[in-house]
Amino acid sequence: MRRDDFSFGFDLLLPTVLGLVVIGPIAFALLALVIWFFIFSTRVRSRRQRGLAPVPILGTITTALIFLGIIYTAHSYQPVKTVEIELERKLSFPQLEMPLGDLGVWASRHSPTQRILASYQLAEADRNRMIQLPSRELTMREYLKVLDEQIGIDWKFRHCGNGYSILQGGDCCFGLHIRQRNTTGPFFTVSDHYFENEVRLFHEINEND
């Protein structure tokens, strides 16, 4: 191997540093790629001026393997993914049996992140359907499983592209959307149910006065 076929700084240290930046927030990832392209172009011109091959094969292969290794590891590492963290958050319920509408409101108001209020779309006919909970303490993942088993739901987190990173995935900033399957409506949302209850309580208080 010729000495100019591999550079510790260009082919080992630099891709490691930039690879760790690339897996972060998208803005930093794009900046790192721009910096890398500039450095790569400068190196190619410099090597041509010295009469060397523009792209050293060994160095390029090493750089590619480092980049791919860092990106694959970051993408595959689940414990730090925002979605996984959200699914493992704890929810507490006042009782083991609750109407579907009340259950959604309670989960929304007592969610540690307050992400899911007004993100339900459920059949109006099931608003007062009683949902059985296996425990008063559930993770969000377990809570979604209960709803799926008893009423059938599809759910997904909604993300903003600006908050995406290879390491943490989507940022869940637009919350969790839960929709009941196999129904065409009419639907109600948790925010509707909550607002109606607030209005009812308001009228009851005024009547008592």
Q: Tens digit of pLDDT for each residue in 132-165?
A: 999 999 998 999 999 999 999 999 888 888 888 9
Distance CA 164, CA 26 (A): 6
Q: Read out DSSP for 131-176? A: EE-S-SEEEHHHHHHHHHHHT-EEEEE---GGG-BTTTB---TT-E
Q: How many residues does the chain have?
A: 209
Hey, how many other C-beta atoms are within 10 angstroms of the C-beta on 122? 26
The β-bridge partners of 139 are: 90
Q: Give me the sign of the Cα torsion angle 183, 189, 192, 198.
A: positive
Res. 50: pLDDT tops 90:
no
Hey, how many other C-beta atoms are within 10 angstroms of the C-beta on 162? 10
Res. 199: pLDDT tops 50:
no
Distance CA 111, CA 93 (A): 10
What's phi and psi for 9, nearest 5 deg? -70, -50
pLDDT confidence of residue 205: 46
Res. 206: pLDDT tops 80:
no
- Structure pTM? 0.73
Res. 111: pLDDT tops 70:
no
What does the domain layout of the chain look like in residue ranges? Answer: 3-76, 82-208
Res. 196: pLDDT tops 60:
no
What's phi and psi for 167, nearest 5 deg? -70, -50
Q: Given the DSSP bridges, would you call strands 176-180 and 153-157 parallel, antiparallel or unpaired?
A: antiparallel
